[in-house]
């Protein structure tokens, strides 16, 4: 029996899964930030090794028994990033082990759909969109920073909500439920009190997080200002998806648009509706779907597919073993 690893290295946490060629998940490890941009390559290497060691230990395996690994790594954005990380991190850690090394968005895509092609839109603290077409060509847009053009994320949606509170306070726009919700989150008496607390830095943005949730909740309650913010966000996310589809010549294709990240878990459907409408203007056959599995499972699938494609029988084994793994490790590996 062959054994494989999947690695999802992010900006706050790193997960690793060990499994066999039949689709059975055998072990799991977790660690801190595996994105080298956070604390440097050496610190990322420590966390990545910790996660892999945890997966191997709980599976009762050694690194020498692993036939291949799939890796989704945050911060791997440019070709030179891949060269540097291979040289300084993964070759010392893994040697000549066969591997698939991609940006973490590709783990989200592979875990999001059973198709080997499609587009993923990942929107949480940040936002990135990536895709693979039927010919195996890949591309991505966004995901660097606001300074390099990123517009919509959980952070920006929350910030727009707070800006609306100030505009309402000044009479630039009308009343909005956002005022009530932000004031309550801060524990202040009214918008004027909140303004002064934030002006003098006694309350910060971090104290009000997650602010995006307040916008979604206000939109769910029918607030027009909050709905406008979510429609703006949804349209832009749709433009990211259609940009990837254009790059990959997928505009007329039928494919899944995998939605991952905290923004797609909001209470109001306004953002997803606006995104879907924008996508369907250029990609009428696209199917926005929620991810099937968490990105670390997608990374494991990438590793397994180094030797053989997935089958329905393997997916059945995977689904059954993921339920057991969730109970064993106290973490849900299915995104839905």
pLDDT of 6-62, one tens digit each? Answer: 999 988 899 999 999 999 999 999 999 998 888 899 999 999 999 999 999 999 999
Query: Domain coordinates of the chain in residue numbers?
Result: 3-114+292-329, 117-291
Closest by CA position to 325, among listed 26, 50, 59, 23: 26
- Give dist(CA 92, CA 284) in Å, integer: 46
Q: What is the pLDDT at residue 171?
A: 97
Point out which residues pair with 120 in neighbouring strands: 130, 258
Q: What is the pLDDT at residue 147?
A: 78
Domain 3-114+292-329 - what CATH class? alpha beta
Strand order in the sheet with 255-260: 138-142, 127-132, 118-123, 255-260, 286-290
Q: Which residues of the chain have pLDDT under 70?
A: 336
Q: Which tokens is 100 given?
A: 């698939």
Query: Is 228 buried (19+), middle (13-18) or exposed (0-12) by CB count in 10 A?
Result: middle
Q: Decide: helix, strand or coil at residue 329.
A: helix
- Give dist(CA 108, CA 295) in Å, integer: 4
Tell me whether domains 3-114+292-329 and 117-291 share a fold. Answer: yes
Q: In which region does residue 181 sit, left (phi positive, over 0), alpha (psi from -120 to 50) or beta (all else)?
A: alpha
Closest by CA position to 16, among listed 62, 50, 61, 45: 50
Q: What is the pLDDT at residue 210?
A: 93
- Output Rg (C-alpha) for the chain, integer angstroms: 21
Q: What is the pLDDT at residue 59?
A: 97
Query: Is 157 buried (19+), middle (13-18) or exposed (0-12) by CB count in 10 A?
Result: buried
Q: Decide: helix, strand or coil at residue 215.
A: helix
Cβ atoms of residues 213 and 264 within 8 Å: no
Q: What is the pLDDT at residue 148?
A: 81
Q: What is the pLDDT at residue 85?
A: 94
CATH match of 117-291 with 3.30.420.40:
yes
Question: For the whole model, what pTM was predicted?
Answer: 0.89
């Amino acid at each position: 029996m062959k054994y494989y690893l999947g690695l999802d290295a992010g900006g706050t946490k790193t997960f690793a899964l060990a499994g066999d060629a039949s689709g059975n998940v055998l072990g799991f490890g977790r660690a801190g930030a595996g994105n080298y941009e956070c604390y440097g390559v050496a610190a990322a290497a420590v966390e990545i090794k910790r996660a892999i060691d945890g997966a191997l230990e709980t599976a009762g395996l050694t690194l020498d028994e692993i036939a291949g690994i799939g890796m989704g790594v945050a911060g791997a954005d440019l070709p030179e990033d891949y060269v540097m990380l291979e040289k300084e991190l993964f070759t010392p850690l893994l040697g000549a082990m066969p591997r698939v090394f991609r940006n973490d968005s590709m783990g989200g895509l592979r875990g999001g759909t059973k198709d080997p092609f499609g587009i993923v839109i990942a929107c949480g603290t940040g936002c990135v969109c990536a895709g693979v077409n039927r010919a195996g060509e890949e591309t991505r847009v966004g995901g660097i920073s606001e300074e390099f053009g990123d517009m919509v994320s959980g952070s920006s949606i929350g910030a727009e909500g707070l800006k609306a509170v100030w505009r309402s306070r000044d009479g630039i726009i009308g009343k909005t439920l956002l005022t009530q919700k932000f004031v309550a989150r801060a524990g202040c008496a009214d918008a004027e009190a909140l303004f002064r607390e934030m002006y003098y830095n006694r309350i910060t943005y971090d104290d009000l997080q997650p602010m995006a949730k307040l916008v979604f909740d206000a939109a769910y309650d029918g607030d027009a200002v909050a709905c406008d913010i979510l429609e703006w966000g949804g349209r832009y996310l749709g433009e990211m998806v259609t940009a990837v589809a254009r790059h990959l010549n997928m505009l007329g294709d039928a494919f899944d648009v995998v939605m991952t990240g905290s923004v797609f878990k909001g209470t109001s459907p306004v953002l997803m509706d606006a995104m879907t409408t924008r996508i369907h203007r250029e990609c009428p056959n696209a199917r926005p779907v929620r991810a099937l599995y968490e990105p670390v499972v997608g990374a494991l699938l990438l590793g397994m597919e180094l030797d053989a494609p997935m089958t329905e029988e393997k997916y059945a084994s995977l689904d059954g073993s993921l339920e057991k793994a969730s109970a064993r490790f106290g973490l849900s590996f299915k995104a839905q």
